Amino acid sequence: MKGVAERNTMRAAKPIFLAVILLSMSTFSGCIGLVVSRELMEKVRGVPETDEAVDVYGFDRVFDSTDPEDIIYHPQPHQIRIDTEVKEIQVFFRVQMDFSEIAGFETGNLTSTVRYVHAMLWEPGANKNTDTPYWEENATTDRYPPLQRFSPPFELGVWELEVDAQGYGLDTPIDQISFHDEFEVSVSIIRPCIEFPERADPDECIPV
């Protein structure tokens, strides 16, 4: 009787053993399928490339009036978030003031109270009454400084780009005496990112 019981037990165990084997093979096959699928997807996807994501904040204005209400330009500052991913800050500044030089004589010293562009980039938590801006330009004549580049470390948080300007614009029947003061200031925030060849949006760049 004992031998019969053992044989019955072995017969009952065989289906369970086979089920475990089949389940293991199925799982293993599934893993292989996932690996192959992933490799095929990578081949179709192409090799990603490292690029740069650029966020630009700026102000620009062409003055076209002599009306006291239109000659002053003092917009709300731009809020610029700086984090650990930022690898460079670029600052561009340009001012054009017609007749800022006459016969080799600069008129900026004479008109600086009524024609000027004052731009400042402030770090987080700066006291604008007592602290020095991170970057600053104050122009009362034509001004074309080269592009400025700044590298980390940067103070993390919200920076502010601020501008205060005053200028004039006048159209007359005589082009030679018509003029329009103008300026442009911008701050570009550079972060590394990754581009995939098959991206739907050609401008899409995923932050690193």
Predicted local distance difference test score (pLDDT) of residue 101: 56
DSSP class of 132: P
Q: What are the 10-residue block averages of pLDDT along the chain, 208 residues in total?
A: 49 48 47 51 65 94 88 96 97 88 48 85 96 96 94 98 93 74 97 76 68
Domains of the chain, residue spans: 1-45, 49-195
49-195: in CATH 2.60.120.380 = yes
- Kindly state the helix (H) or strand (E) to which residue 37 belongs, with its residue range: helix 2-45
pLDDT score of 65: 87
Provide the token pair at 10. 């072995």
What contacts 137, CB < 8 A, 6 or more positions away?
93, 117, 118, 119, 143, 145, 185
pTM for this structure?
Answer: 0.70
pLDDT of residue 177: 66
pLDDT of 200 reads 56
Q: CA 121 from chain center: how many Å?
A: 16
